[in-house]
Structure 1
Amino acid sequence: MIPIETRIDPSSDSFASQRAGMQALIDRLHSLEQRTVAASERARPAFARRGALLPRERIGRLLDAGAPFLPIATLAGFGMDDPSHDTSVPGGSLVAGIGIVCGVRCMVLATDSGIDAGAMTEAGNMKLMRCQEIALDNRLPFIHLVESAGANLRKYRVDKFIRGGSIFYNLARLSAAGLPVITVVHGSSTAGGAYMPGLSDYVVMVRNRARAFLAGPPLLKAATGEIATDEELGGADLHATVSGLAEYLAEDDEHAIATARDIVASLDWPDVSPAPAQPVRAPRLDPAELDGVMTLDMKRPVDMREVIARIVDDSAWLPFKPDYGPGTVCGHARIEGHAVGFITNNGPIDPAGATKAAQFIQLCNQSGTPIVFLQNTTGFIVGRASEEAGMIKHGSKMIQALSNSTVPQITIYCGSSFGAGNFGMCGRGFHPRFCFSWPNARTAVMGGEQAAMTLEIVARQQAERKGKAVDEAQLAAQTAEIVANFERQASAFVTSGLLLDDGVIDPRDTRAVLAFVLATAREASLRQPRAMQFGVARM
């Protein structure tokens, strides 16, 4: 492998300008995340009165001290329930991520009951299901710290109710796959939420705080006329001594979390994380410079090898067919010793680039090498020459190879993600194992100006065929509306709010994030859980 030589001068004015622009976006990301923390923190007095820990404190007690934790979908729901970006609280009322518990890599979630009593939201359901998918793909034990008022009946939607059934379907699949499901019930777990402990392998309930019932006292009275208290209907003592729903009874939050840790420790989960064969070498070029490498002007080209050089070990890599279809960049490198293949873009994807990428994807599958896609693409090239060269046919080869690839694929949206380039470069629709965005990333079927111009041409042609004059004012209003609509949806903050990635990350953290998920995928490939035909039935 050869070191990648940089052509960037970090002391230049252009670099400083790009860094300032990126830093403003990073600050916005942190501000939105802090907005959620602050909203939950406002419930501290109420939690303190009942001797309870806040959700983030619960996760902090559960995780091994000093071990890495990778948050998932911190912006989930941003702008969904509250269209005002100035007041929308992201996160889906769910804190989630991959962390280490008693030395075991686990998927960890906590209902953020400090916000609206942990009421379930559409974004929260989507986030929960995505975390279940990650746990299944990466063979991770699943730990859920539950306290939720249940569904928000004021915002009831039948489609949300029906799709929410997948949460319980996935819990059953996790158990059957040999992946332990551990639920700690800290407070209410009502209606559909009662199936959360019901479909778990191990249940811990906090005495005098935990509640689990299919119908709470108000609904019970409305439905049958029967009157019962919360504790009589579904308290922790009842479920530990009468119904058998709970295996473990805890005196408080700390005791419950300590019990969950004991359960994980008792699993004797095999350590399958040997160090990669190659020694780890830090990049020669500083990863901290990644905040100034990318231009925020999507019309200006960026050599994506400058990004690779600040991510990979020793800033070294082995380029694959560098002179054939050079706009599509492929090559081999290592990240903290993990072998990886890279595919990225230094221009639109042309027929030669698509053919090269298809071959490279198949070669990585032959060797079992994970693939990292760094998206910065304007899409597949268009025009007479490219059509004659078979762009559709060769682009389809790339899609075929990608769709049937079996190695872990990790996508980072670094800049533009336009048109079918989003698909060919392993966008969310192609099920990458993990998918993250930089805060400057922009995604759309095409640029807003292109969309507006396309529809303007169509409108003028229609008017000409009908022999009518074009209403220029109306056309200008249409153009402004289309551009604004495209621009509003293209932002990484909006797409992440819609769960179209697994989170927005600081570019400077890219190497650490990739190293973490590569280690997660490597462990998954080496682990052989004891799968069963059915999940463990509660007795």
Structure 2
Amino acid sequence: MTALRSHVDTTSEAFRRNAEAFDEKRQTLARARAAAVSGGDERSRRRHTERGKLTARQRVYQLLDPGTPFMELGQLAGHDVYDEHVPSAGLVTGIGVVSGRPAVVFANDATVKGGSYFPLTVEKQLRAQLVARENRLPCIYLVDSGGAFLPLQEHLFPGEHHLGRMFRNIAELSALGLPQIAAVMGSCTAGGAYIPSMCDETVIVRGTGTVFLGGPQLVRAATGEMVDAETLGGADLHTRVSGVADHLAENDEHALAIVREIMARDARPAPAAPPRPPRPPLYDPAELPGIVSASLREHIPARDILARLLDGSEFTEYRARYGPTIVCGTGHIGGYPVGVLINDGVLFPESAQKAANFIELCTQRDIPLLFLHNINGFMVGAEYEADGIAKHGAKLVNAVSTAKVPKFSLVIGGSYGAGNLAMCGRSMGPRLMAMWPSAKSTVVGAEQTATVMALIRGDQLAKEGKVLSAEEEESIKRPIIETYERQAHPLYYAARMWVDAVVDPTETREWLALCLAMSADAPKQETRFGVFRM
């Protein structure tokens, strides 16, 4: 491997301006994160704690092994999406270590609309279950939910990827030998009752935990029977009479301790250490915000980014002189090997072929792939269409789609249209995907879209013998640009679960190391590529 050399002047005025502009974006994200982690309003939080209950995040952190990280997924989900305030979509999900074993953790936040499931809550839970499936991780459900948010039932119930899929996933994950463990720490009503009922092993808290298909009000409406929640579905009933739950806990802390004991019985081997000792880069990752231009129209030097992400800044580049607008090669992050693809310009036919070949090599050698997006798309024009840019680009999309090694995706600059697909955007199935606070992504760039729409209108007027005025052109372009800029923002993406996280550049190495560690012990899968058009 060769140590990368950085050519960035960290004392320059441009570096300082970039860093200052980046700080403004950080502050926007910091405010959104603060709103997400605070949970529901003050009244709801106070009522929750007065009942002797821990908050959702307190439960998670008390469950985890002390001093171990929690890789939260979808923290910003639901931000400014609904008329209701639904921080973190009312559900905390992520990957952590419990009794020495990595697991995916789900914790309903009962301070947010009683822990009700909104459409994004369901999507978030399904996403985390997919992470568990792909990486062969057990699931722990800390249940405290009033069930579906009924005003939005049409977006929650009937579809293939709605509420029912959560229960199907529990059954399928259990069938794969992945432990499914529940702790009922509050209400567990209606369809939500199937989460603990379908898990392999279930704990319930005395006095606060309840499980019933129909709550007291529904029972009264349906049958006329008057019954209180504890008698209908409390901990005593379910551990002594019904057998719905296996373990009785006296409080939240006791329930979490029992879950830890259950996880400690896992007979599978403990996670293996990375193949080689981690080493810091030769260049400080704290310099990354100064390297990324405040304007994404300016070039982001690919190798300077890698020099601050890879262990020892060491990188074995593949075909360095061919197809230079995409940089491919292997290195290590946190001691784990990784094959890296990072854009250094628009994709030409030779760039696409080179990247597809590199993916073939990595799948043959079981090397995980990391895609670092900064891409406008494929080169357009008569010369490149004649050269088969569509055919060569399709080879790359084929390779990205079918590669069965772990794939991780990070948008560091722009990520537009087919370029997003070629760099393993969300629809291409990365195991995890994130954006930097300065990144943007849309089907086409805002300026290009606005210009195209103005040109179309100008052509229409020309057929009528008229000319598009500057004022009319501006009236067409301005709303398009404003809409695209808002929708391209990382916070907009994270709020809708189109990415799993917004990661600060200075924390990117740690995030990527956790990604690689999470997937390191998953069973290897054989890659079978589709037909490449030659």
Normalised to the residue count of structure 2, the TM-score between the two structures is 0.94
Following TM superposition, by how much is the alpha carbon of 1:123 offset from its aligned partner in structure 2, in angstroms? 1.4
Matched, 1:198 2:194: no
Query: What does the per-residue CA deviation read over 1:313-351, in whole Å, with 9 as the maximum and x for residues that have no partner?
Result: 111111111111101111111112211111011111110
AA at the equivalent of 2:255: A
Alpha carbons of structure 1 residues 401 and 48: separation in structure 2 relative to 1, 3 Å: closer
Matching residue within 83, 92, 95 for 1:98: 95
Aligned-pair Cα RMSD in Å: 1.8
Residue 449 of structure 1, CA deviation = 1.6
Shift of the alpha carbon at 1:116? 1.9
Counterpart-to-counterpart distance in 2, 1:306 and 1:275: 25
Query: Could you tell me which residue of structure 1 aligns to residue 260 of structure 2?
Result: 261
Q: 1:479 aligns with which of 477, 481, 494?
A: 477
- Displacement, 1:466? 4.3
Candidates 279, 282, 291, aligned match of 1:281: 279
Q: Does 1:80 align with 2:81?
A: yes
For 2:382 and 2:233, locate their aligned partners in 1 and report how far apart those are by CA, in whole Å: 69
Aligned-pair distance for 1:159? 5.4
Q: Which deviates further from its counterpart, 407-416 or 150-159?
A: 150-159
Q: 2:384 is matched with which residue? A: 386
Deviation digits for residues 200-244 of structure 1 (CA, Å, limit 9, x no counterpart): 111100112111111111122222322221112211111112211
The amino acid of 1:266's aligned partner reads R
Aligned to 1:12: 12
Corresponding residue to 2:141 among 140, 144, 153:
144
* Cross-structure match for 1:114: 111
The amino acid across from 2:258 in the alignment is T
State the match for 1:521 in structure 2.
519
Structure 1: distance between partners of 2:52 and 2:137: 31
Q: After TM superposition, list the pairs within 5 Å mapping 1:356-505 onto structure 2.
A: 356-467=354-465, 470=468, 473-505=471-503
Deviation (angstroms), 1:472:
6.3
- The 2-side partners of 1:520 and 1:56 are apart by 21
Q: Closer, same or farther in 2 for the Cα pair 1:265/1:466, shift >3 Å?
A: same
| Same amino acid, percent of matched pairs | 39
Distance 1:454 1:282, change over 3 A: same
Query: Aligned residues, how many?
Result: 522
Closer, same or farther: CA 404–37 of 1 in aligned 2, 3 Å: closer
Name the CA distance, whole Å, in 2 between partners of 1:465 and 1:129.
51
Indicate the residue corresponding to 2:35 in structure 1.
35
Amino acid at match of 1:443: S
Question: CA 1:158–1:495 in 2, change beyond 3 Å: closer, same or farther?
Answer: closer
Question: Counterparts of 1:284 and 1:338 in 2: how far apart (Å)?
Answer: 17
Of stretches 387-396 and 28-37 in structure 1, the one that deviates more from structure 2 is 28-37
* Greater mean alpha carbon deviation, residues 54-63 or residues 471-480: 471-480
CA contact (8 A) 2:189 2:213 kept: yes
TM-score, structure 1 length as denominator?
0.93
Q: Tell me: CA distance 1:475–1:24, structure 2 relative to 1, closer, same or farther (3 Å).
A: closer
Residue 224 of structure 1: aligned partner: 223
Provide the residue aligned with 1:530 in structure 2: none
Provide the rounded CA distance (Å) in 2 between the counterparts of 1:514 and 1:265.
27
Kept in 1, the 8 Å contact 2:344–2:374? The answer is yes
Q: Give the 3-state SS of the residue equivalent to 1:137 in structure 2.
A: helix
Cα distance change on mapping 1:143 and 1:213 into 2, 3 Å: same
1:469, CA displacement in angstroms? Answer: 5.7
Mark the CA change 1:7 to 1:89 in structure 2 (over 3 Å): closer, same or farther.
Answer: farther
1:180-210 Cα offsets, whole Å, 9 max, x none, are 0111001101111111112111110011211
In structure 1, what is the Cα distance between the partners aligned to 2:487 and 2:123?
Answer: 19
Q: Deviations over 1:401-449 (max 9, x none)?
A: 1111111111011110011100000000000111111111100111112
In structure 2, the partner of 1:302 is 300
CA apart distance, 1:471: 7.1
Letter of the 1:261 counterpart: R
Q: Indicate if the aligned counterparts of 2:322 and 2:351 stay in contact, CA closer than 8 A.
A: yes
Higher relative contact order (Cα pairs below 8 Å, separated by 6+ residues): 1
Corresponding residue of 2:61: 60
Tell me, in whole angstroms, the C-alpha distance in 2 between the residues paired with 1:401 and 1:82.
41
What's the CA shift string for 1:277-334, capped at 9, x where partnerless?
x333211011111222211201101111111110111111111111111011111111
Where do 5+ consecutive residues of structure 1 fail to align? Answer: 528-539
C-alpha distance in 2 between matches for 1:467 and 1:219: 68
Q: Which runs of 5+ in 2 are unaligned?
A: 526-534
Following the alignment from structure 1 to structure 2, what is the Cα–Cα distance between the partners of residues 471 and 172? 62
